[in-house]
Amino acid sequence: MKTIADFVKEKRNEVNLTQEAFAERAGVALTVIRKIEQGKENLNLEKVNQVLKMFGHTLAPVSARELSQNDEKQL
């Protein structure tokens, strides 16, 4: 499973943008992009979703029950 940090960095590189240029296009501070790509754990979900929307994705809370049900379906 790919981390958010890896996903964002990979996608940003695919579109050939620096962290600075990407932050500007996403409408977030450069520090937000850096924290995401460094895998920091204490991130603002709203800011993360603002970045992920650039690639057509968002994050939402998922209960442990939903995760275990999905794991069972994959088996």
**CATH assignment of the domain containing 55:** 1.10.260.40
Q: Tell me the C-alpha to C-alpha distance, in Å, between residue 23 and each of 1, 13, 63.
A: 25, 13, 30
How far is Cα 20 from Cα 71, in angstroms, rounded to an integer?
A: 38
The whole-model pTM stands at 0.75
pLDDT digits (tens, 9 = 90+) for 2-20: 899 999 999 999 999 999 9
Domain total in the chain: 1
pLDDT digits (tens, 9 = 90+) for 40-59: 988 999 999 999 999 999 98
Q: Residue 30 is part of which domain span?
A: 4-74
Q: How far is CA 11 from CA 15, 46, 50, in A?
A: 7, 19, 14
Instruction: Give the contacts of 3 (CB within 8 A, at least 6 positions apart).
Output: 39
